Structure 1
Amino acid sequence: MPSPIPVHRILPKGFPAAITLRPCSSPNQFRGKRRNFSFVKQSNGELPQCPWYTVIWDELKLLDLLGSGGFGWVYKGIYYGKTVAIKKVRKCTKNKLAARQSFWAELNVAHLAHENIVKVVAATTSVPANPQAEDSVGTIIMEYAGGTSLDHRIYNCAHPLDVGECLRFSSDIVSGLSFLHSHSIVHLDVKPANVLITESGRCKIGDFGCSHKLAATSDLTPNGQLRHLGGTYTHRAPELLRGRNATLKADIYSFAITLWQMMSGDHPFSGDRQCVMYAVVAYNLRPSFSHVFDETLVGRKVRSVIDHCWKVEPIDRPSAEQLFETITNLNSLL
């Protein structure tokens, strides 16, 4: 269960904790400072330059359901004539606070734009009156990055990834992480299922429902950071399993597991969940390296990179920036 973090500590700047339900939600419209925005459709096919905290419902059309989870549904849709993904976050009956935290955490990247990050187009806590309105925490409209995840590419395609593809995808992922970390944002759920592959073959990191904005002082400060209990246990850094505070280096550990999956085409752990987590913490359990890692010079170097990234202590792992440079050098060897 996520820790009871006050909502005001995780709200993006400029977004109030409560907004009156209206067809169009913009927090500035409910503070006595009504602003006029232009919502004219762009002739070049791009979305209009609206504030990200505004949704114009008349321009939003739901199409196919792409997936669902504990906190809601993701649809493919159309917004101002452009294909988008729409995430509807619902109130979780067992843990309403966790659902709210997941929604606000998604907005940690609302003001950011990077080619390897799924961009937030618009978001709101308001919904038009309908039977599902009572069950809604909020709606997030994001760029549509394609219908294929890295998880699907690893486990559901006839041909396994070759080393070149693994490094190319890794370069995209680490580039995105480096950008996030430069803004003191830790993703905390890096895994193949949360990496989307566009039609052009570019990887984009998505699903920021577990992310945190860390204090600007230091990514390794032991005090004052938020403890983190979410994410996926197979990719969760050992310090998080021990109950220590989250740092940027937790993402580096998760990336190491992800890179191992790309190279091996296998699942990192099997067996009882609690037993796996205990072994990771108490006995430094890590996935086993197959012969794929020993067949070539580049494979052996990738193995060394993974070993470095899943070190026990966060301080012993490379930064995302250092890791990006290493992977770039490996790409040059192909």
Structure 2
Amino acid sequence: MELLSRKTEPVGDGSFEKLKLVGSGGFGRVYKARHKDWCFDVAIKILHDGVNMSLCDEAYHMDKGSCNFVVVLHGTYQGCPPGVTSPQQGLVMEFMARGSVQSLLEHLSGPPQWPLVCRLAHQVALGMNFLHSQTIMHQDLKPSNVLLNDDLNARLADFGLSRVSTSALNSNREKSVMIGGSYKYMPPEAFEVSYKPVRAFDIYSYGILLWSIITGKEPYPSADYDLVNLKIPQGDRPCCKGIDLMREREGLKELVDLMERCWDGSPSKRPPFKGCLEVTENVFSKHENGIHDAVGQVLTRLNSPTSNQSNTSVASSVLLQTPEQSKPNDTVDNGPLTQTERSSTQDCVRISTRTMSNTDKAKFVDKNRAKLIKDATMVMAMIEELGDMVHPETYSLIDAKPTSHEQMRALYQTALRSGGEAVKAAFYDALKNHQRDLVLRLGD
């Protein structure tokens, strides 16, 4: 492949130091490492067994789609990361220090400052427009695949599904990947067995992504694949309650109109990304002077050890809703906390300085089962830290679940049930590493 002749030979373990697992998903694991000669951090993406054939495809699409709004591909990897005994192949990419749009919204418990919302909407549209100009369809556009650098600029990532851009999703493995990764961002026509992806697929996903950025919420948080498969083709879309209460924000009306045109049930009525850019560029231009302060405020909150203490949202209740159900006078279904709620939340979020025993940790995991199933994220990354405590068959069973909620439920039903106190204590430690704010909120 042309990429391999343009990039360096595969980089081995000897070139890296400080390898650390930082994430896990449907396609594989992501490690952070420092390249000894380059002297900067990189991300190494390792695909799960059985999907290695997509590695070159993803690298090719990343290289072909290279621009200011796509994560930079530095080369390929071949080696054995920590905890792995057999040689692995992967991609060496730009390390995005601020995670993803999804993690940003989770940390803030809502949308960021309005100028940053406008910039994110514009930068994603710029990146997608460039990909489409290069005849590349992403097909997995969602908040977790929009990564952020130190200044919270957006870069598109995870081109694992681009390899099926010209064929129907007709193999069992391709269907399971799509369902597991992005069914909430799939257009209604994509639920048809004979569907062949076209550019309108990405445009629909962009509409749902806009909703998430504007509201700071996850679409259909309690809906499984079967419910989404049933309701989306009938015209249901994410709930728009509360958006009308933000009308004083200049440009919101234009973005909401664009969002609704992008998720139109008819693919032919969705605007191309070049048309989207006409809207996003105009809206962002009105707030560009405020972006420096907005980014500074968000970074201050992200860097604060108590960033979520006074802004922890109540349980989300966003439901599937038809466009006709959204009314101008609807109230916010998950709005700001009242003073009473805020005080109560703060009372529950006090940093503990005591040393917990394994028994205490196990009790915490048992006591908070329902809340952890609902709110825990990056489940596979935490399971990775359990190592041999989770049998490979159990790992595969959990990894196959389409949502973090179902992964957590399966973890409770398997390893946490049979492993006893030791496994629960180890999981508590992993949870504290990945979601300290959640542990604090639940009352460590």
* Bucket of the pairwise TM-score, normalised by the shorter protein: 0.7 to 0.9
Amino acid at match of 1:200: D
Amino acid at match of 2:10: T
Describe the shift of the 1:100–1:129 C-alpha distance in structure 2 as closer, same or farther (beyond 3 A): closer
Deviations 1:257-277 (A, max 9, x none): 111011112221133320121
Alignment partner, residue 396 of structure 2: none
- What's the % identity of the aligned pairs? 25
1:329 corresponds to 2:290: no
Q: Output aligned runs, 1:179-190, within 5 Å.
A: 179-190=130-141
1:88 corresponds to 2:41: no
CA deviation after TM superposition for structure 1 residue 54, in Å: 3.4
Q: Which has the higher helix share?
A: 2
Q: Output aligned runs, 1:104-183, within 5 Å.
A: 104-107=56-59, 108-124=61-77, 126-127=78-79, 132=84, 134=86, 136=88, 138-157=89-108, 160-183=111-134
Describe the shift of the 1:331–1:267 C-alpha distance in structure 2 as closer, same or farther (beyond 3 A): same
Q: How many correspondences in the alignment? A: 271
Alignment partner, residue 193 of structure 1: 144
Q: C-alpha root-mean-square deviation of aligned residues, in Å?
A: 2.5
In structure 1, how many angstroms separate the alpha carbons of the residues matched to 2:114 and 2:40? 35
1:237 corresponds to 2:187: yes
Q: Which has the larger radius of gyration?
A: 2
Amino acid at match of 1:67: G
Amino acid at match of 2:223: G
Residue range with higher mean Cα deviation, 157-166 or 179-188: 157-166
Taking structure 1 as the reference length, the TM-score comes to 0.73
1:67 corresponds to 2:30: no
Describe the shift of the 1:133–1:178 C-alpha distance in structure 2 as closer, same or farther (beyond 3 A): farther
Alignment partner, residue 78 of structure 1: 34
In structure 2, how many angstroms separate the alpha carbons of the residues matched to 1:52 and 1:279? 48
In structure 2, how many angstroms separate the alpha carbons of the residues matched to 1:264 and 1:288? 10
Taking structure 2 as the reference length, the TM-score comes to 0.56
3-state SS, counterpart of residue 122 of structure 1: strand
Alignment partner, residue 306 of structure 1: 259
CA contact (8 A) 1:112 1:119 kept: no
CA deviation after TM superposition for structure 1 residue 72, in Å: 2.4
CA deviation after TM superposition for structure 1 residue 226, in Å: 1.0
Describe the shift of the 1:128–1:285 C-alpha distance in structure 2 as closer, same or farther (beyond 3 A): closer
Q: Gapped runs of 5+ residues in structure 2?
A: 170-174, 288-444
Q: Gapped runs of 5+ residues in structure 1?
A: 1-12, 16-25, 29-49, 215-224
Alignment partner, residue 407 of structure 2: none
